[in-house]
A and B are shown apart, each in its own frame.
Chain A
Amino acid sequence: MTTVLEASCREAYRDALIAAMALDDRLVCLDSDTGLFLGMDFGTAAERYLNLGIAEQNLLGAAAGCARYGRIPFVNTMATFASTRALETVKIDLAYANLPVRIAATHSGLSAGNLGPTHHSLEDLAIMRLLPNMTVLVPADAATTVSLFEQCRDLPGPVYLRLDRKPTPGLPTDAPPIRIGQAQPLRQGEDVLLVCCGPYPVLMALEAAESLAARGVSAAVLNMHTLKPLDEAALAASNAPVVTVEEHWRSGGLGSAVAETLAETGRRVLRVGVPDRFVSMAGDQQFLLERSGVNAESIEAAALRALKY
């Protein structure tokens, strides 16, 4: 895996938002004391930055109130607070009311690292993809964050944008452009299909595909950055067995979405993700992923297992 750390998804999002707010007065930035915008200059859009303090139910409800009158609020909080603490507000006031609120959910997966399970978010994809009307986006690097940010602006309903906290390596520069709802093919292959989302899982899948190639196994890599609506056509385009990779509990997220979709076709689906337990130990994101068995070696082993049957 390359060790070049380019930028964090959340800072790429922040900069893109501030730039967009200057040009589009529908955009409102609702903060919850995250600190992400400390020292930032919103210029002429300064009055559209509102810090509502540490109160996530009020934050998301207020976003619905703004959206009811034509604004496009970008709500800033941690993934776990949006998806668990304020879930009922998200379900009723955003999803049921079908309002164009964008949730910028930072500290996704294990990216809160040392902050521990109170701040990890390993259930958010399961929760958000269950909600009707919700679009669920998982960028894999700073560049795709900006692209998905731009594209989600005019969607009619609510959007959940899952953002890593710390700088992560960029995707290969020759990757095809990213489109909401269309999986991004990052590598062609015949024998096995690696379906992944999020910065480290995508990089791990690419690394595993390299190792598999050295063994004579041809692996395709599909960046499933849009979890909802899921690009079922991209999954159906091949008959190869599938390995899913995500920074999320193995249940409920990408692996479940793919398995649900493919269950009726008889395709084999193996899931790489965080086991069903809280990751209650000190360590940074990469350490915790490694200790949780989310790494290129696990993906490679799963791919070989998938091929054995």
Chain B
Amino acid sequence: MCLAVPGRVISIDGNMGIIEVGNLKRNVFLHLTPDVSVDDYVLVHAGCAISEIDEVEANITLKLLKELAESEICR
């Protein structure tokens, strides 16, 4: 019930911004992510940024996945 896509913030004008998803740009509401800056990533649902994407957390997750992928399976 919540199709949402990560997009990079290209510009901010008050409560509105332009985000880029896969080379496409779109106007979005930024009211729900007031602390966001240009070049940050946000999750966009129906024309509104609903959350900032925490790159640090994303990298932690990816690191764990990488370790799992490289480890032996214990049977």
A and B form one complex: no
Taking Cβ atoms with an 8 Å cutoff, the residues of A that contact B are: none
